[in-house]
Amino acid sequence: MATETGSGKTLEALYREDRTFPPSREFMSKANVRDPKIYERAKKDLEGFWAEQAKTLHWFEPFQKVLEWKPPYAKWFLGGQLNISYNCLDRHVKAGKGAKVAYFWEGEPGDTRTVTYEQLLSETQKAANALKELGVRKGDRVAIYMPMIPELPVAMLACARIGAPFTVVFGGFSAEALAGRITDSEAKVLITADGGYRKGNVVPLKKNSDDAVAQSKTIQKVLVVKRTKQEVPWTKGRDIWWDELVGVQKADCPAESLDSEHMLYLLYTSGTTAKPKGIVHTTAGYLAGVATTHSMIFDIKDDDVYWCAADIGWVTGHSYIVFAPLANGTTGVMYEGVPDYPDKDRWWAIIEKYKVSILYCAPTAIRTFMKWGAEYPQKHDMKTLRLLGSVGEPINPEAWLWYQEFIGGGRCPIVDTWWMTETGMILITPLPGITTLKPGSATFPFPGVEADVVDDDGKSVPLGGAGYLVITKPWPAMLRGIYKDEQRYRDTYWSRFPGRYFAGDGAKRDQDGYFWLLGRVDDVMKVSGHRISTTEVESSLVSHPTVAEAAVIGREDPITGQSIFAFVTLRGGNNGDESLSKELREHVVTKIGSIARPKTIMFTPELPKTRSGKIMRRLLRDIANGQALGDTTTLADATVVESIRTASASGKDD
317: Cβ contacts below 8 Å, ≥ 6 apart: 168, 308, 310, 311
Q: Report the percent of the chain where pLDDT is more than 90.
A: 78
pLDDT for residue 636: 63
Say how far apart CA 535 and CA 550 lie, in whole Å.
9
Q: Which pLDDT score is estimated for 325? A: 98
Cα–Cα distance measured from residue 416 to residue 603, given in angstroms and rounded to the nearest whole number: 28
β-strand 101-106 against 331-335: which pairing, if any? parallel
Q: What is the mean pLDDT of residues 129-138?
A: 98
Backbone φ/ψ region at 583: left (φ over 0), alpha (ψ -120 to 50), beta: alpha
Contact 334, 104 (CB under 8 A): yes
pLDDT at 154 over 90: yes
pLDDT of residue 406: 98
3 state SS of 487:
helix
Give residue 471's Cα distance to chain centre: 18
The predicted pLDDT at position 282 comes to 98
Q: At what angle do helices 284-297 and 46-54 cross, to 10 degrees?
A: 90
| pLDDT confidence of residue 87 | 98
Q: State phi, psi for 119 to the nearest 5 degrees.
A: -65, -40
Query: What is the C-alpha separation between 86 and 160, in angstroms, rounded?
Result: 9
If we measure between CA atoms, which residue out of 618, 615, 620, 621 comes closest to residue 636?
615
Q: Each residue of 297-330: b (16+ CB within 10 Å) or e?
A: bbbbeeebbbbbbbbbbbbbbbbbbbbbbbbbbb
Residue 525: per-residue pLDDT? 82
Per residue in 256-291, pLDDT tens?
Answer: 999 999 999 999 985 434 578 999 999 999 999 999
- The band of 608, judged by pLDDT with boundaries at 50, 70 and 90, is confident
User: How confident is the model over 379-401, as pLDDT tens digits?
Assistant: 999 999 999 999 988 898 999 99
Asked if residue 653 has pLDDT above 70, the reply is no
- Mean per-residue pLDDT, 325-348: 97
Q: How confident is the model at residue 2 (pLDDT cuts 50, 70, 90)?
A: very low
Give backbone dihedrals phi and psi of 55, rounded to 5 degrees, phi first: -70, -10
Quick one: pLDDT at residue 274?
A: 53
For position 4, what pLDDT does the model report?
34
Residue partners of 591: CB distance under 8 A and separation at least 6: 15, 540, 543
Residue by residue, DSSP assigns 521-572 as: GGG-EEETTEEE-HHHHHHHHHTSTTEEEEEEEEEEETTTEEEEEEEEEEPT
Highest mean pLDDT among 65-79, 520-534, 556-570: 65-79
Residues 300-313: what's their mean pLDDT? Answer: 97
Distance of CA 611 to the CA centre of its chain: 11
- Would you say residue 8 has pLDDT above 50? no
pLDDT single digits (tens) 16-51: 778 899 999 999 999 999 999 999 999 999 999 999
Domains in the chain (CATH in brackets) are: 1-24+450-522 (2.30.38.10), 524-649 (3.30.300.30)
Query: Residue 175 contacts by C-beta under 8 Å, 6 or more apart in sequence?
Result: 207, 208, 209, 210, 211, 212, 215
Query: Can you give the three-state secondary structure of 240-270, one letter per residue?
Result: EEHHHHHHHCCCCCCCCCEECCCEEEEEECC
Question: Mind giving me the DSSP string for 63-108?
Answer: -SEEEEEETTEEEEEET-EE-HHIIIIIHHIIIIITTSEEEEEE-T
pLDDT one-digit tens code per residue, 505-560: 999 999 999 999 988 887 778 787 676 878 888 988 999 999 999 999 888 887 77
pLDDT band at 6 (very low <50, low <70, confident <90, very high): very low
Q: Give the separation between CA 498 and CA 458, rounded to whole angstroms.
A: 9
- According to the model, what pLDDT value does residue 480 have? 98
Element (H, E) at 286: helix 284-297
pLDDT of 271: 46
Q: What is the pLDDT of residues 143-152, one digit of tens each?
A: 999 999 999 9
pLDDT value for 623 = 86
DSSP 435: P
How confident is the model at residue 94, as a pLDDT?
98
Residue 343, classified by CB atoms within 10 Å of its CB into exposed (0-12), middle (13-18) or buried (19+), is exposed
N-to-C CA span, the chain: 27
Residue-level pLDDT at 7: 36
With contact defined as beta carbons under 8 Å apart, do 80 and 66 qualify? no
* CA distance linking residue 268 with residue 281, whole number of Å: 11
Decide if pLDDT at 83 tops 70. yes
Residue 3 DSSP label? B
pLDDT band of residue 3 (cuts 50, 70, 90) is very low
373 phi, psi to nearest 5 deg: 110, 155
Inter-residue contact 103 to 150 (CB < 8 Å): yes
Q: What pLDDT score was predicted for residue 1?
A: 31
In terms of pLDDT, which residue wins out, 594 or 130?
130
> Rounded distance, CA 554 to CA 562, Å?
5
Rounded average pLDDT over 115-119: 98
* Residue 295 CB contacts under 8 Å (≥ 6 apart), including other chains: 32, 324, 328
* Mean pLDDT of the chain, nearest integer: 92
CA distance 127 to 124: 5
pLDDT on residue 625 = 82
Q: What pLDDT shows up at residue 567?
A: 93
Taking alpha carbons only, the member of 291, 360, 356, 359 closest to residue 319 is 291
Taking the C-alpha atoms of residue 135 and residue 354, their distance in angstroms, rounded to an integer, is 40
Task: Specify which residues 428 forms β-bridges with.
Answer: 418, 445
Cis peptide before 342 (omega within 30 of 0): yes
Cis peptide before 72 (omega within 30 of 0): yes
Contact, 595 vs 134, CB < 8 A?
A: no
